Amino acid sequence: MMSMLPRLEDLGDVRGKRVLVRTDFNVPMSGPDDARVIVDDFRITSALPTLNYLTERGATVVCASHLGRPKGAVSAKYSMAPIRQRLSEIAPGVELLENLRFNPGEEANDETFVAQLVAGFDLYVDDAFGATHRAHASIVGPPKTLPSAAGRLLQREIEVLGTLREKPKRPFVAVLGGAKVSDKIGVIEALQERVDAFVIGGGMCFTFLAAQGYSVGDSICQPELIDVCKKLLAGNVPIHLPEDIVGLDADGVYATYGIRLPNGAKGLDIGPGSAAAFTDIIMEARSVFWNGPMGMFEDPRFANGTRTVAQAMADTKAFTVVGGGDSAAALAQFKLDDEVDHVSTGGGASLEYLELGDLPGLEALRGAPRVK
């Protein structure tokens, strides 16, 4: 599919052209609403290969991005001003529009807003992989009228995920975590045809443990999905679940359990035995995709499971891909983000691409007019 996507080279001579580049500068921020500072600029620096390609060839480049969820209203908390300042430091001369989501037409994919966006531009580049699974105005609108291309970041994401989806080196293991099993059911069902084993931790493991008949105390559990989990566990692909759990007892005291949690207990991380077992599986794999932490890693008491999996991802000789979001944040927290083969800039987008093999933004690019 990647060969069908138009590339930057397909835009021809860009000298003197005005290019609208959809970036994903939805970066973590902190501080008071009127003095926000960037916590991590990874998504901004990731756009540099595309921005440099265009500016070095004489194009005038204007970036457009969303930030947070202002729900169609202007808000100081979600102003692009701090990002605009950082961008001016690393890509002088590149402009940045105000937050796309200040206009309700962005998420509504409003044609009037699309027309405002593309006015005065000659070309469009989508380099916002983290938003390419959204059928929003800035993603699917410009390719209807402007010659368009995938940026370097988007191109790389699809190449890596496409390889995992279609021709991974085997054994191929998917390590999945996070709070809710409902967020991952679709990708588990889709990857059953493609992976050799699943490793499941995080809050989502408790619905699977409940499906095996174990008591999970007050841990996160989605009873309505127990039957779905039973079917997945009965499938042909092994699903490895924790064998011990770390959490809090009914009185809020730190405790370690097996896989049967008493009433009132809450599991908040995989235990040391599980972390060791998961490490062994990762080390024996040749391809590993990881999305979702093993526990509440923001709390040092419950960070060991996620840290151990992150270290295994760094140490294994397998081809390793981390699917953005909290997993990428954990890697950065443990200073291991340079130790894996690919850190995706989009958690939800990476899962959706692995599940479906296409995204609205990619479909839009393939249908865009070509440079004559």
Enter the pTM of the model. Answer: 0.89
For the residues 263-280, what does the mean pLDDT come to?
A: 97
Q: Is residue 371 part of a domain?
A: no
Tell me: the pLDDT tens digits for 111-131? 999 999 999 999 999 999 999
Q: Is residue 324 part of a domain?
A: yes
Cα 286 to Cα 23: distance, rounded to the nearest angstrom: 32
- pLDDT greater at residue 372 or residue 161: 161
Whether residues 78 and 106 fall in one domain: yes
Q: Is residue 247 part of a domain?
A: yes
Q: Is residue 160 part of a domain?
A: no
Q: Is residue 300 part of a domain?
A: yes
The reported pLDDT for the residue numbered 324 is 75
Query: What is the CATH classification number for the domain harbouring 33?
Result: 3.40.50.1260
Whether residues 109 and 57 fall in one domain: yes
Whether residues 130 and 174 fall in one domain: no
Residues noted as catalytic? 43, 180, 325, 348
Q: Is residue 161 part of a domain?
A: no
For the residues 304-315, what does the mean pLDDT come to?
A: 97
Whether residues 28 and 94 fall in one domain: yes
Q: Is residue 17 part of a domain?
A: yes
**pLDDT score of 299 more than 90:** yes
Whether residues 130 and 191 fall in one domain: no
Please state the domain count of the chain: 2
Whether residues 121 and 215 fall in one domain: no
Q: Is residue 162 part of a domain?
A: no
Write a three-state SS string for the chain: CHHHCCEHHHHCCCCCCEEEEECCCCCCEECCHHHCEECCCHHHHCCHHHHHHHHHCCCEEEEECCCCCCCCCCCHHHCCHHHHHHHHHHCCCCEECCCHHHCCCCCCCCHHHHHHHHCCCCEEEECCHHHCCCCCHHHHCHHHCCCEEECHHHHHHHHHHHHHHHCCCCCEEEEECCCCHHHCHHHHHHHCCCCCEEEECCCCHHHHHHHCCCCECCCCCCHHHHHHHHHHHCCCCCEECCCCEEEECCCCCEEEECCCECCCCEEEEECHHHHHHHHHHHHHCCEEEEECCCCCCCCHHHCHHHHHHHHHHHHCCCEEEECCHHHHHHHHHCCCCCCCCEECCCHHHHHHHHHHCCCHHHHHHHCCCCCC
Whether residues 125 and 222 fall in one domain: no
The reported pLDDT for the residue numbered 327 is 87
Residue 3: pLDDT band with limits 50, 70, 90:
very low
Domain containing residue 120: 2-155
Whether residues 204 and 321 fall in one domain: yes
Whether residues 141 and 262 fall in one domain: no
Q: What is the mean pLDDT of the chain?
A: 94
The percent of residues above 70 in pLDDT, for the chain, comes to 99
Tell me: the pLDDT tens digits for 50-96? 999 999 999 999 999 999 999 999 999 999 999 999 999 999 999 99
Whether residues 252 and 199 fall in one domain: yes
Give the end of a domain, one of 131, 155, 179.
Answer: 155
Give the end of a domain, one of 120, 155, 190.
Answer: 155
Tell me: the pLDDT tens digits for 130-167? 999 999 999 999 999 999 999 999 999 999 999 999 99
Tell me: the pLDDT tens digits for 203-253? 999 999 999 999 999 999 999 999 999 999 999 999 999 999 999 999 999
The reported pLDDT for the residue numbered 1 is 41
For the residues 277-298, what does the mean pLDDT come to?
A: 96
Cα 121 to Cα 175: distance, rounded to the nearest angstrom: 42
Whether residues 227 and 128 fall in one domain: no
The reported pLDDT for the residue numbered 156 is 94
The reported pLDDT for the residue numbered 351 is 86
